């Protein structure tokens, strides 16, 4: 899988559309960079760009954006509400997929060195890229802002990590770093900038100073008035949304606003947000209001509603949630076929898809029928007394069914790995050794997939039994078919393990898997019989 790194440079220009567009073009025209979002503020006179790509591409994109800013932004003319000390004020790199913070810190250092040498600008490193602890926090580096930078650069303590230790009036300075995903979250206050700032001071980690810290960790916040919205805002950066979540901050702002007798009118997320943060908010409100929601789409709708994310502009999940933006379609050609095409493919003159894929289909069909029966019972007036019980049944069956679907294609891919080994040359001793190792690895993969199918199917039996015991009697035949299908799916997966196990050379591996698989197959037969007995009358 590709490495994906996010870069979120902030530029001190939010009013001149030509300049904003020029920087966007520089990023877009960099090969391998995908520009995800542009967020400009007139009052802040600041634009935040969010783009992603592989490490080298992101580095090139950031440099291209910096070059463009060097040509078009003159800090001597800049005025705005947001703290800043440079034309390209900050340039953080964030790990998104198949990478880590260390690699992002390395890219930040490369960017700082190259930008300083080419553009002759001072660059400071911050957060995880910082060389010194006292430079880790961005507010410390930016303290004094642009207006105080000339004096600050005279202090040897604040010599830039890269570039000249002198004041460049038209540019200022840039901070480059590596950090966790930062969420820029603004909460709308129907009051004054002073009231919004009082709320921010009470909540942000720094509070009003060392002797009066705020209540929420990993939160930086101020209050301001946004003329174009005709509203004040508590504007916050959540440095670690797993420490202080967006919904926690929102609820705390509501409490503070109520104490001041001012209204809260929703919120806005600036730039991109991780799916996890939105689902955390949804789960909070689901628990708070005793709701029962399983589908991800509905959870997102709930979070949008409860947080008021549509109050300024429409919150489009596919454009605002980074997981959706960078996701690739699942590699599931069999699972995505029409039912007719899948059956015809199974019946074709080919050994794959075969019994393993069909076993996964049957197991998924079985748990799916169990989920259906429970869902047809939940929410029906005559079965309201079973509401809590049905919720406990539905969730695992709903999740297991979805987890079994990828096994349909995984089984075929696992078989293909073995076939690749079988087709390798075997003339020399080395070729024979390599061929055997590849085939043994392929066999173990071919065993691991049906074994996972068995374990997933087995985890559904307790919920299946309860669906049979308490489910809507009108769906009796559905749960019977479901039990048989699940049992057959597990049995079929077991047979695939047995046939592939014959050629395994590792006897310890062989004994361990066979013992577990036999136990799961036996339990499947027992549980299916139990369900059928429950439904006899």
Q: Chain-centre distance of CA 70, in angstroms?
A: 33
How confident is the model at residue 1, as a pLDDT?
Answer: 59
Per the CB < 8 A criterion, the answer to whether 126 and 176 are in contact is: yes
| C-alpha–C-alpha distance, residues 503 and 353, integer Å | 21
pLDDT at res. 423: 86
Q: How far apart, in whole angstroms, are the C-alpha atoms of residue 147 and residue 185?
A: 27
Q: Kindly report the number of other CB atoms within 10 A of residue 519's CB atom.
A: 12
Question: For the purposes of burial, counting CB atoms within 10 Å of the CB of 429, is it exposed (0-12), middle (13-18) or buried (19 or more)?
Answer: exposed
Find how far residue 269's CA is from the centre of its chain.
16
Cα dihedral 51/55/57/61 (nearest 10)? 50
Domains of the chain are 4-178 (3.30.990.10), 183-326 (3.30.70.670), 339-534 (1.20.120.680)
Listed in sequence order, the residues at least 6 apart from 238 whose beta carbon sits closer than 8 Å to its beta carbon are: 182, 183, 185, 218, 219, 244, 245, 246, 249
Q: SS in 3 state form for 79-140?
A: CCCCCCCECEEEEEEEEEECCCHHHHHHHHHHHHHHHHHHHCCCEEEEECCCCCHHHCCHHH
Q: What is the largest CA-CA distance in the chain?
A: 89
Identify the CA nearest to 411 among candidates 369, 365, 355, 461.
355
Q: What is the pLDDT of residue 86?
A: 97
Beta bridge partners, 95, equal 5
8 Å CB contact between 367 and 360: no
**E-state strands within 130-173:** none
Write down the catalytic residue from 39, 411, 458, 466. 411
DSSP per-residue codes, 400-440: HHHHHTHHHHHHHHHHHHHHHHHTS--SSHHHHHHHHHHHH
pLDDT for position 436: 87
DSSP 443: H
- For residue 295, give every residue at least 6 positions away whose Cβ sits within 8 Å of its Cβ, in sequence order, or none: none
pLDDT for the residue 442: 86
| Distance (Å, whole) CA 292 – CA 394 | 10
Half-sphere exposure of 39 (CA within 13 A, CB side): 21
User: Helix crossing, 461-470 with 507-534: angle to 10°?
Assistant: 0
- Cα separation, 447 vs 445, whole angstroms: 5
Q: Are 501 and 447 in contact (CB under 8 A)?
A: yes
Beta strands in 263-422 (DSSP E): 263-270
**Alpha carbon distances (Å) from 119 to 111, 122, 177:** 11, 9, 18
Helix, strand, coil share (%) of the chain residues, nearest 5 = 55, 15, 30
Q: Are strands 88-97 and 174-178 parallel, antiparallel or unpaired?
A: parallel
Nearest to 370 by CA among 269, 469, 518: 469
Distance CA 222, CA 205 (A): 11
Would you write out the chain's pLDDT as a tens digit for each of its 537 residues? Answer: 588 899 999 999 999 999 999 999 999 999 999 998 899 989 899 999 999 999 999 999 999 999 999 999 999 999 998 999 999 999 999 998 889 999 999 999 999 999 999 999 999 999 999 999 999 999 999 999 999 999 999 999 999 999 999 999 999 999 999 998 889 999 999 999 999 999 999 999 999 998 999 999 999 999 999 999 999 999 999 989 999 999 999 999 999 999 999 999 999 998 889 899 999 999 999 999 999 999 999 999 999 999 999 999 999 999 899 888 888 788 899 999 999 999 999 999 987 788 999 999 999 999 999 999 999 999 999 999 999 999 999 999 999 999 999 999 998 887 777 788 888 888 888 888 888 888 888 889 889 999 999 999 999 999 999 999 999 999 999 999 999 999 999 999 999 999 989 989 889 999 999 999 999 999 999 999 999 999 987
Query: What pLDDT is attached to residue 424?
Result: 87
The one catalytic residue in 82, 247, 248, 398 is 82
Number of neighbouring beta carbons within 10 Å of residue 260:
15
Nearest to 463 by CA among 366, 371, 375, 346: 371
DSSP secondary structure code for residue 41 in this structure:
E
Is 78 annotated as catalytic? Answer: no
Distance CA 129, CA 106 (A): 7
Nearest CA-CA partner of 324 in 315, 334, 313: 315
Beta-carbon contacts of 62 under 8 Å, excluding residues fewer than 6 positions away, are: 7, 9, 91, 93, 111, 115
Look up 18 and say whether it is catalytic. Answer: no
């Amino acid at each position: 899988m590709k490495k994906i790194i996010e870069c979120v440079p902030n530029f001190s220009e939010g009013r001149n559309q030509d300049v904003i567009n020029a920087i966007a073009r520089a990023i877009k025209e960099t090969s391998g960079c995908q520009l995800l979002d542009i967020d400009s503020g007139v009052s802040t006179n600041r634009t935040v760009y969010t783009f992603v790509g592989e490490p080298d591409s992101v580095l090139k994109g950031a440099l291209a954006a910096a070059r463009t800013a060097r040509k078009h932004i003159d800090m001597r003319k800049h005025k705005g509400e947001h703290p800043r000390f440079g034309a390209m004020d900050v340039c953080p790199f964030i790990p998104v997929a198949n990478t880590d913070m260390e690699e992002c810190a390395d890219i930040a250092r490369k960017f700082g060195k190259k930008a300083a040498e080419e553009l002759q600008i001072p660059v400071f490193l911050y957060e995880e890229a910082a060389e010194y602890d006292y430079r880790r926090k961005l507010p410390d580096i930016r303290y004094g802002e642009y207006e105080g930078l000339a004096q600050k650069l005279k202090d040897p303590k604040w010599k830039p990590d890269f570039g000249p230790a002198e004041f460049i009036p038209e540019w200022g300075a840039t901070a480059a770093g590596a950090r966790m995903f930062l969420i820029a979250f603004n909460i709308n206050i129907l009051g004054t900038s002073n009231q919004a700032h009082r709320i921010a001071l009470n909540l942000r980690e720094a509070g009003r100073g060392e002797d009066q810290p705020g209540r929420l960790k990993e939160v930086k916040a101020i209050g301001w008035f946004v003329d174009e919205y005709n509203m004040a805002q508590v504007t916050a950066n959540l440095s670690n949304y797993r420490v202080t979540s967006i919904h926690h901050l929102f609820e705390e702002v509501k409490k503070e606003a109520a104490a001041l007798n001012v209204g809260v009118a929703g919120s806005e997320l600036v730039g991109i947000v991780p799916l996890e943060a939105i689902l955390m908010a949804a789960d909070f409100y689901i628990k708070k209001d005793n709701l029962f929601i399983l589908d991800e789409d509905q959870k997102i709708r709930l979070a949008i509603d409860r947080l008021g994310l549509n109050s300024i502009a429409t919150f489009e999940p596919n454009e605002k949630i980074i997981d959706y933006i960078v996701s690739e379609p699942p590699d599931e050609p069999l699972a995505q076929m029409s039912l007719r095409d899948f059956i015809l493919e199974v019946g074709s003159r080919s050994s794959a898809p075969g019994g393993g894929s069909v076993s996964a289909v049957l197991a998924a069909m079985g748990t799916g029928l169990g989920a259906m029966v429970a869902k047809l019972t939940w929410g029906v007036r005559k079965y309201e007394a079973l509401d809590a019980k049905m919720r406990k049944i539905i969730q695992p069956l709903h999740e297991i069914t979805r987890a079994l679907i990828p096994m349909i294609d995984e089984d075929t891919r696992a078989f293909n790995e073995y076939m690749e080994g079988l087709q390798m040359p075997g003339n020399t001793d080395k070729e024979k050794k390599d061929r055997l190792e590849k085939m043994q690895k392929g066999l173990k993969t071919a065993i691991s997939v049906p074994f996972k199918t068995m374990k997933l199917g087995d985890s559904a039996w307790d919920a299946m039994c309860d669906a049979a015991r308490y489910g809507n009697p009108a769906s009796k035949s559905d749960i019977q078919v479901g039990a048989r299908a699940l049992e057959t799916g597990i049995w079929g997966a077991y047979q695939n393990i047995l046939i592939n196990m014959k050629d395994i050379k590792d006897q310890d591996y062989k004994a361990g898997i066979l013992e577990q698989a036999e136990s799961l197959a036996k339990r499947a037969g027992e549980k299916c019989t139990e369900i059928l007995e429950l439904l006899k009358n």
